[in-house]
Amino acid sequence: MNEKVLMKGNEAIAEAAIAAGCRHFFGYPITPQTEVAAYMSKRMPKIGGVYLQAESEVASINMVLGAGAAGVRVMTSTSSPGISLMAEGISYIAGSDVPCLIVNVQRGGPGLGGIQPSQADYFQATKSTAHGDFHILVFAPSTVQETVDMISTAFDLGDKYRMPAMVLSDGMLGQMMEPVILPEAKDPDKDSKNWAVSGHGNKREHNVVNSLYINPQELEDLVKARFERYKIIQENHQMAEEYLADDADIIIVAYGSSSRVSRSAIDAARAQGIKVGMIRPITLWPFPEKFINKHIGHTKAFLSVEMSMGQMVDDVRLVVNGRAPVEFYGRTGGIIPTPKEVLEQIIRINGGVQ
């Protein structure tokens, strides 16, 4: 097993991707993900990999499409405004059934917004990444170690289901340092994808990677087949952590950085005798419905805590579906809620402290 090392979140993303056998990185500079690209530019040339700084996020995501179509493990990383620019490419990648990894180290928006941590891209990641009927896998780690572990899972599931995967980080997780154990390094695999465009070598029919289907019936059939795959993913790959949830009267639903704050608030509330727990989604798509459904009945209220004006709360409400009240607390624009603020919300929902 590898030794424990102290790493910055963004650099850990890069090293974890290399350990997962990724040798192709295309990106464009943007704060607060810069360290991912800087780290890749240092490492890739030393290990026979490709680091290429594109002229825009529009170009980098299309380079990802090209390399992914050619059958190699490929990734890009950016921050919120960059994802908006990549939207077109992500739709084409999804529509062409090409796997890839996209990292979004979120910052405040809309527009140029700010450069401080945010979770305001939840809708974009899980529901409206770009035009057309499609989903991407979305992972939301809450520690540097979990980020490292998620990278290889994201690559593997992306390959398995031939779809883009996103790791949704934020400026706080990207910039902070924590001890991590890196996974054992895997060798790059260039040759296992029999659908890839890598030259037919006069041994097979030509492969075509494409998202254009002029015949509506053909397109509907294809989209439906893709949604059958999505159903399998929803059935098998929901991930969440439950924290003190089994006896909880109040369950906080929070992911990533806001779950770290919520955990502190929960500990403080427990010390005051309030039975509060947490469901921490690790996959945002598929949304971990099973974990919420499990706690319907004993839970008197749910509280979605986010660094946004309230986006994931919609999914919590859809799952709870009127079976319990669903409340929301959030800060936005790059502000991280404090444990004290979250504790106040817990006490308010609890009707004070007994």
Partner 1 sequence: MTVKGERPHALTKAPFHYCPGCTHGIVHRLVAEVIDELGIEGKTVGVASVGCSVFTYNYFNCDMVQAPHGRAPAVATGVKRARPENVVFTYQGDGDLAAIGMGETVHAAARGENIVAIFINNAIYGMTGGQMAPTTLPGQVTQTTPYGRDVKTAGNPIRVCELLSSLDGVALAERVTVDSVKNVRVAKKAIKKAFEYQIAGKGYCIVEVVSTCPTNWGMSPADAIQWLRDNMLPYYPLGVYKDVGEGEQ
Q: Which residues bind partner 1 (CB under 8 A)?
A: 24, 26, 50, 52, 54-56, 58-60, 62-72, 74, 88-89, 92, 96, 190, 196-203, 206-212
Distance of closest approach, residue 169 Cβ to partner 1, in angstroms:
23
Which backbone phi and psi does 268 adopt, to 5 degrees? -65, -40
Distance of closest approach, residue 153 Cβ to partner 1, in angstroms:
22
Distance of closest approach, residue 64 Cβ to partner 1, in angstroms:
6
- CB-wise, 89 or 330, nearer to partner 1? 89
- Please choose, from the candidates 53, 43, 1, the residue with its C-alpha nearest in 3D space to the C-alpha of residue 22: 43
Distance of closest approach, residue 48 Cβ to partner 1, in angstroms:
11
Biggest CA pair distance of the chain: 77
Rounded to an integer, what distance in angstroms lies between the CA atom of residue 168 and that of residue 283?
10
- CB-wise, 69 or 282, nearer to partner 1? 69
- CB-wise, 1 or 212, nearer to partner 1? 212
Distance of closest approach, residue 41 Cβ to partner 1, in angstroms:
14
Rounded to an integer, what distance in angstroms lies between the CA atom of residue 166 and that of residue 141?
11
Rounded to an integer, what distance in angstroms lies between the CA atom of residue 252 and that of residue 302?
6
- CB-wise, 184 or 205, nearer to partner 1? 205
Cβ-in-10-Å burial (0-12, 13-18, 19+) of 219 comes to: middle
- CB-wise, 67 or 105, nearer to partner 1? 67
The torsion of the CA quartet 143, 145, 148, 150, rounded to 10 degrees, works out to -60
- CB-wise, 75 or 250, nearer to partner 1? 75
- Please choose, from the candidates 112, 109, 92, 110, the residue with its C-alpha nearest in 3D space to the C-alpha of residue 100: 92
Tokens representing 59? 């170009």
Distance of closest approach, residue 24 Cβ to partner 1, in angstroms:
6
- Please choose, from the candidates 80, 114, 119, the residue with its C-alpha nearest in 3D space to the C-alpha of residue 311: 119
- CB-wise, 219 or 268, nearer to partner 1? 219
Cis upstream peptide for 286 (omega within 30°): yes
Distance of closest approach, residue 232 Cβ to partner 1, in angstroms:
26
Whether residue 237 contacts residue 157, with contact meaning beta carbons closer than 8 Å, is answered with: yes
Whether residue 11 contacts residue 37, with contact meaning beta carbons closer than 8 Å, is answered with: no
Distance of closest approach, residue 212 Cβ to partner 1, in angstroms:
6
Distance of closest approach, residue 60 Cβ to partner 1, in angstroms:
8
- CB-wise, 58 or 296, nearer to partner 1? 58
Q: How many CB atoms lie within 10 A of CB 309?
A: 12
354: amino acid identity, one letter: Q
3-state SS assignment for residue 232: helix
Whether residue 313 contacts residue 88, with contact meaning beta carbons closer than 8 Å, is answered with: no
- CB-wise, 26 or 139, nearer to partner 1? 26
Radius of gyration of the chain (CA): 21
